[in-house]
With several copies, the nearest count.
Chain A
Amino acid sequence: MTPLAKLLEAALFASARPITTEELATLDPEASPAAVAAALDELREQYDVNGHGVALAEAGGGYQILTRPEYTEAIERAQLAVRPSRLSGASLETLAIIAYRQPIGRLEIEEIRGVSVGSVLKSLHERGLIDITGRGEGLGRPLLYGTTSLFLEHFALRHLGELPRADELAIALRHLESATPEPDETVPEPVG
């Protein structure tokens, strides 16, 4: 392996989170972006061709080393590491809406989900999957939410452009967008 590939490997091993290419480039000020890209290719090949228990993965705008899925069960059985718990359905629904509609306020999410989402937003924020990205216009200047790089990592996405596209879904989003603008002003009368 070239010295640069070794350096990148050491840096990736020293981090639990993905490292962006810009950050990798700062490791060796002499190295050109092309050289960094070549070294990453070299590392990937080393892991894939030579046969390793780990592999180079891309997520959240950066690179990280992850174990190969075929060893997960054995590692968990030996109690050497534990898989993180799954997100609840309520969290996933909220996250899906934020991912596609960001920046988006709480009321809008509640309008789509039909339930209040205060505590779900709080827990997603605490887990670092969403962040407050600004304030909206209008009454009370509501907080707006967006997804974080940890969100991308959680779903092994390189960037938001890799989200399942609307036209891949059974019901096209465009269709709905055009019908959306009507705010739900006609709140039903309380039934007496």
Chain B
Amino acid sequence: MAVALAAERGPSSFDVELPAFSGPLDLLLSLIRDEKVDIYDIPVAHIAQQFLARIRDLPLDEAADYLEMAARLVRIKAQMLLPRNEADDAWEDPRAELVRRLLEYQQVREVVDRFEQMADARRNRFARAWLPEGAPPPQAPLALSLVELMAAVDRVLRAAREPALHEVVPRALDVPGAIEIVRAVLLLRARIRWRDVVQQGAEPWQVLSVLLALLEMAKLGELRLAQPRPFADVEIARDAAGEAA
């Protein structure tokens, strides 16, 4: 997108060159390669100067992402200049985070190269283009489970009740929540299967929550668990004793 825009603007020095980069990290990697410097020991002052020179003529709306990186480089440069105690073991190289991001980005570029080869191989083969006319294919039947609906209610309540705070701690298990869901489903069906209470694509904490909930409920005598053969779907049956409702 940026390529087309800038190319149309004509051959003013940097405009044509820059859009060849897909972002500031791409530009930075290219500078590191051109200047033949060690990625683990970047001469920040020099690279920052080069970087600024390359983005000088970028129109403001395209430059935002690059300017952020420029600011970062200048800040790292300043940190590098601070005097430090030789004996200070806790000193962390201000460039560490940048190096990490560059390596990560370099890996993305490598994957992109592989993706391009794979996509090109596939592009060279055509799929069937002529298709029989007729009534539009019927809409696929809908897979909808009560568990999904209950989980949705849960999400609505949770999302609306909780003030919008950033959660940093990984999600804890929610065994009581899972028990409520299993109970609600068992209220309607006497026998259910593992699949009925664990959503497709459930996250590990959700799977664990349900597992613990089932074990807890089995212990309380609310349900019975059975697995007819190894690796088969676990069958969950309402225990007569728990059938109070």
A residues whose Cβ falls under 8 Å from a Cβ of B:
10, 13-18, 57, 59, 64-69, 72, 75-76, 79-90, 92-93, 95-97, 99-100, 112-116, 119, 127, 129, 133-135, 137-141, 153-157, 162, 164-165, 169-173, 175-176, 179-180, 182-184, 188-191
Contact = CB atoms under 8 A, between A and B. Distances in A.
Contact of B187 (A64, A87, A112, A164): A164
B1 to A, nearest CB: 7
Contacts, number: 246
A114 B180 CA distance: 25
A190 B68 CA distance: 9
Contact of A93 (B1, B108, B165): B108
Contacts of A139: 164-166
B152 A95 contact: yes
* Residue from B103, B114, B125, B164 having most chain A Cβ neighbours under 10 A: B125
A183 B167 CA distance: 12
Nearest to A166: B107
A133 B201 contact: yes
A13 B126 CA distance: 8
B236 to A, nearest CB: 16
Size category, B interface? 35 or more
Contacts of B64: 116
A176 B149 contact: no
B60 interface: no
A79 B126 CA distance: 13
Contacts of A137: 167, 171
Contact of A113 (B71, B100, B108, B166): B108
Contact of A16 (B74, B118, B129, B141): B129
A85 B118 contact: no
B98 to A, nearest CB: 11
24 contacts: A13-B126, A14-B127, A16-B128, A16-B129, A16-B130, A18-B130, A69-B124, A83-B140, A84-B123, A86-B120, A89-B155, A92-B151, A96-B150, A113-B160, A114-B25, A116-B65, A154-B122, A157-B118, A162-B188, A164-B150, A173-B107, A173-B157, A176-B157, A191-B74
A141 B159 contact: yes
Contacts of B101: 112, 114
B105 to A, nearest CB: 7
A141 B72 CA distance: 28
Closest 9 CB pairs of A and B: A164-B184, A14-B126, A84-B143, A92-B152, A115-B23, A66-B125, A16-B129, A96-B152, A69-B124
B124 A169 contact: no
Interface in B103-122: 103-112, 114-116, 118-122
B139 interface: yes
* Residue from A86, A92, A113 having most chain B Cβ neighbours under 10 A: A92
B132 interface: yes
Contacts of B200: 86
